[in-house]
């Protein structure tokens, strides 16, 4: 079997605090799904000395791609904000907020006419399938007194 070497480029060693050994990370791209690859890493020095020792051979099989028939949630941009409209997953309020936290975000704060009009236009096509959407306010502290997630009152 003929070896095919891929040039990854220059990799700088990163010695972080507490690291006992330098470590290198790189990503292989454009691999074919469902294919087996034998991978070994070798460092090539600039100038005299040439190729360094090779790492042990590792066999990796890439997963076979599965095309989902289920649509994915849609992202929509307004100015500097991005809104996720998920009509697929049925969640309660806390679960929805947890999903947002996973993206490093919160449920939407609809505190301007511009945001209200924008989100209404975005969710209108989905209203045939989904009738309710969560936003980032609740009245848990006092029934009927809604507050945004940061505690400010909804006006």
Same domain, 80 and 42: no
pLDDT for residue 2 is more than 50: yes
Q: What is the pLDDT of residue 32?
A: 74
Percentage of the chain beyond pLDDT 90 is 10
Final residue of a structural domain among 48, 66, 84: 66
Same domain, 101 and 60: no
Residue 20 lies in a domain: yes
pLDDT for residue 62 is more than 90: no
pLDDT for residue 95 is more than 80: yes
Same domain, 15 and 57: yes
Q: Quickly list DSSP for the chain.
A: -------------B--TT-SS-B------SPPTT-EEEE--EEE-SSTT-EEEEPPPEEEEPPPP---SSPPPEEEEETTEEEEE-SS----HHHHHHHHHHTT--S----SHHHHHHHHHHHGGGGGT------SEE-SSSTT--EETTSPBP-
Q: What is the CATH number of the domain that holds 13?
A: 2.60.40
Same domain, 110 and 141: yes
Q: Read off the pLDDT band of 147 (50, 70, 90).
A: very high
């Amino acid at each position: 079997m003929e070896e095919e070497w891929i040039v990854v480029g220059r990799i700088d060693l990163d010695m972080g605090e507490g690291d006992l050994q330098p470590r290198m990370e790189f990503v292989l791209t454009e691999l074919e799904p469902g294919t087996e690859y034998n991978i070994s890493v070798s460092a090539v020095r600039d100038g005299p000395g040439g190729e360094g020792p090779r790492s042990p051979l590792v066999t990796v099989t890439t997963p076979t791609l599965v095309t989902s028939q289920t649509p994915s949630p849609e992202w929509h941009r307004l100015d500097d904000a991005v809104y996720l409209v998920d009509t697929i997953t049925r969640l309660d309020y806390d679960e929805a907020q947890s999903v947002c936290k996973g993206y490093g975000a919160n449920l939407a704060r609809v505190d301007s006419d511009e945001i209200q009009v924008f989100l209404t236009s975005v969710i209108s096509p989905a209203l045939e399938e989904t009738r309710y959407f969560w936003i980032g306010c609740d009245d848990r502290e006092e029934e009927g007194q809604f507050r945004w997630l940061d505690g400010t009152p909804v006006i």
